[in-house]
Amino acid sequence: MQSYDAIIIGTGQAGTPLAVRLAKAGKKVAIIERKFFGGTCVNTGCNPTKAMIASAYNAHQARRGADYGIVISGAVNMDMKAVKARKDAITEESRKWIADTLNGTQNCTVYQGSALFQSPKTIQVGNELLSSDLIFINVGGRAVVPPLPGVDEVPYLTNSSMMDIDFLPPHLVIVGGGYVGIEFGQMYRRFGSEVTILEMGPHLIGHEDVDISTAVEEIVREDGVNVRVNTKCIGFRPHADGVVVTVDCREGPTEVIGSHVLLATGRRPNTDDLGVEKAGIVTDQRGYIAVDDQLRTNVPGVFALGDCNGRGAFTHTAFNDYEIVASNLLDGDSRRVSDRITAYNIYTDPPLGRAGFTEAQARKSGKNVLVGLRPMAKVGRAVEKGETKGFIKILADADSKQFLGAAILGTGGDEVIHCILDMMYAKAEYTVMQRAVHIHPTVAELLPTILGDLKPLPALAPNSAKAAG
Ligand SMILES: Cc1cc2nc3c(=O)[nH]c(=O)nc-3n(C[C@H](O)[C@H](O)[C@H](O)COP(=O)(O)OP(=O)(O)OC[C@H]3O[C@@H](n4cnc5c(N)ncnc54)[C@H](O)[C@@H]3O)c2cc1C
């Protein structure tokens, strides 16, 4: 039995920085990883997909060359092996950096293997037993494989196996119209595949306001993605050309034949093979580890960070979990998850930057809501760049004058959203930004203008109130 001051399970976005921080504070740390150093973000999530999206974006812009006075003789085609090689080089560098950092940190011992709780303070890795009074679970999640008839009889893909593809699928059928499905969908369409997205709800990215999801849907449709909403996947069977996906739908064919199928129907936490029951750690019905506002589980000394606690599903939320735990344990701070403001991007082109409330949430809040809107076609920077799709929507509280939220669907929206997010963290009145002099020409320069034209949120027509809720 090896005894440690702290054991960390998983080298994801919280585990890695926590191991280094604790070790540098003089603690004897063990960190356990069963697959790739860096977890989902580095290997099968954010970094590789955004690298591939960059290839897709540049292919798209090359095809639009004539719009910018660029003459490209001949067709723009993809070298998918080169796309994958570029993505792999980025991923491998990050993975290596993380492995080298952990292995090179004094007081930190790296174990490669699957961690299994044996008791609240004991973990088994291979043939070794490790014990500690402090255990941090950072096991992340994986793609849900829906238990539909025939799913085991067809060669389906997930976000992980998509990373191994170095060819162009002739027809990629994507089950699920959330952000993972849409990002892969637009990307592969731009690479040259025929793409069909099947979404069982009435809109893509169903948690967004309808005006946003409708605009995103139009954007991907304009790229040539075949979007089918209100279309529920109910089964699969092999076909000479690939896979038949059977669907329950109000309109259109009930069978879709694809050369390849990507399942993008959500994520589940990696807690089913962790032995949490042996430690008495409480999980919810979906397997997420229950934590309090400071990420403590019900078992003293055991914390859960990142996607596996169900309190966030992004790299920045996992990293913030690390910051909360490290500050509270090492700096005498009292940081909390509830201090965090919801914020994320969806990396379509153009991207969607989101912070705080949606319009539906603002309406439900009972506050006196003001809204400001501006199409990207009326943003000079977007016009100059020839990227005018999307719009900006800002929500503020008429009484406190604080920002409630914003959605920036448009070129640069993934960066510009931080102007609003930082104001929200500062709890600043929107009038501060309204009087700020932003740099010309930028997308952000229009934010003060929009704030100068805020209007009360119009009442919803009775039949649309339900949809917006
Ligand atoms: C396609 C895709 C695109 C994404 N894009 C973005 C994006 O653009 N921006 C963003 O913020 N987020 C994005 N995400 C989400 C982001 O990747 C995750 O939220 C983030 O990686 C979660 O980090 P984590 O530390 O909780 O877990 P992970 O990064 O998943 O790390 C968990 C680690 O634990 C290891 N592990 C699991 N069980 C055990 C065990 N029993 N023993 C030992 N080790 C174990 C795993 O192998 C893994 O390395 C994306 C996700 C996907 C799937």
Answer yes or no: is pLDDT of 464 > 80. no
Q: Whose CA is nearest to atom 1 of ligand 1?
A: 45
Percentage of the residues of the chain whose pLDDT score is greater than 90: 97
Quote the pLDDT of residue 467.
46
Quote the pLDDT of residue 460.
83
User: What residues contact 90, with CB distance under 8 A and at least 6 apart?
Assistant: 47, 48, 51
pLDDT in tens, 290-322: 999 999 999 999 999 999 999 999 999 999 999
10 C-alpha to ligand 1 centroid (Å) = 9
Answer yes or no: is pLDDT of 463 > 70. no
Q: Are 40 and 102 in contact (CB under 8 A)?
A: no
User: What residues contact 327, with CB distance under 8 A and at least 6 apart?
Assistant: 333, 335
Closest CA to 325 of 281, 289, 292, 279: 292
Q: What is the mean pLDDT of residues 129-146?
A: 98
Q: Whose CA is nearest to atom 48 of ligand 1?
A: 39
Q: Whose CA is nearest to atom 26 of ligand 1?
A: 306
Answer yes or no: is pLDDT of 468 > 50. no
Q: What is the mean pLDDT of residues 61-84?
A: 97
Burial group, residue 348, by CB count within 10 angstroms (0-12, 13-18, 19+): buried
pLDDT in tens, 151-198: 999 999 999 999 999 999 999 999 999 999 999 999 999 999 999 999
Q: Are 273 and 290 in contact (CB under 8 A)?
A: no
pLDDT in tens, 87-110: 999 999 999 999 999 999 999 999
Q: Cis (ω within 30 of 0) for the bond into 441? A: yes
Query: Can you say whether residue 440 is alpha, beta or left, with left for phi > 0 and alpha for psi between -120 and 50 degrees?
Result: beta
Instruction: Indicate if ligand 1 lies below 6 Å from the C-beta of 40.
Output: yes
Which of 279-283, 344-348, 464-468 bottoms out in mean pLDDT, i.e. has the lowest? 464-468
Instruction: Indicate if ligand 1 lies below 6 Å from the C-beta of 276.
Output: no
pLDDT in tens, 196-247: 999 999 999 999 999 999 999 999 999 999 999 999 999 999 999 999 999 9
Q: Whose CA is nearest to atom 12 of ligand 1?
A: 314
Predicted TM-score (pTM) of the model is 0.97
Query: Strand 171-175 and strand 115-119: pairing?
Result: unpaired
| Residue of 315, 354, 415 to test ligand 1 pocket, by largest number of atoms within 8 Å of CB | 315
Instruction: Indicate if ligand 1 lies below 6 Å from the C-beta of 9.
Output: yes
Please give the number of the atom of ligand 1 that sits closest to the Cα of 36: 49
Sheet containing strand 122-125, strands side by side: 2-4, 128-132, 122-125, 115-119
The overall average pLDDT reported for the chain is 97
| Residue of 53, 139, 187, 418 to test ligand 1 pocket, by largest number of atoms within 8 Å of CB | 139
Q: Could you tell me the sign of the dihedral formed by the alpha carbons of 37, 38, 41, 47, in that order?
A: negative
Instruction: Indicate if ligand 1 lies below 6 Å from the C-beta of 14.
Output: yes
Quote the pLDDT of residue 250.
87
User: What residues contact 211, with CB distance under 8 A and at least 6 apart?
Assistant: 359, 391, 393
304 C-alpha to ligand 1 centroid (Å) = 13
* Interatomic CA distance for residues 259 and 35, integer angstroms: 29
Answer yes or no: is pLDDT of 441 > 80. yes
Q: What is the mean pLDDT of residues 67-79?
A: 96
Instruction: Indicate if ligand 1 lies below 6 Å from the C-beta of 314.
Output: yes
Q: What is the mean pLDDT of residues 364-381?
A: 97
Which letter, b or e, does each residue of 259-278 get, where b requires 16 or more Cβ atoms within 10 Å of its Cβ? bbbbbbbebbbbbeebbbee
140 C-alpha to ligand 1 centroid (Å) = 5
Token pair 């930057």 in the structure block, residue: 353
Instruction: Indicate if ligand 1 lies below 6 Å from the C-beta of 140.
Output: yes
36 C-alpha to ligand 1 centroid (Å) = 10
- Secondary structure of 282-335 in HEC code, one letter for each residue: CECCCCCECCCCCCECCCCCEEECHHHHCCCCCHHHHHHHHHHHHHHHHCCCCC
Closest CA to 23 of 112, 109, 138, 98: 109
- Concatenating the DSSP letter of every residue in 52-69 gives HHHHHHHHHHHHTGGGGT
- Secondary structure of 76-95 in HEC code, one letter for each residue: CCCCHHHHHHHHHHHHHHHH
Instruction: Indicate if ligand 1 lies below 6 Å from the C-beta of 271.
Output: no
The first and second tokens of residue 152, run together, are 């085991």
Q: Where are the beta strands (DSSP E) in 120-184?
A: 122-125, 128-132, 135-137, 141-143, 171-175
* Interatomic CA distance for residues 195 and 177, integer angstroms: 12
pLDDT in tens, 250-305: 889 999 999 999 999 999 999 999 999 999 999 999 999 999 999 999 999 999 99
40 C-alpha to ligand 1 centroid (Å) = 3
pLDDT in tens, 393-439: 999 999 999 999 999 999 999 999 999 999 999 999 999 999 999 99
Quote the pLDDT of residue 469.
42
Answer yes or no: is pLDDT of 143 > 90. yes
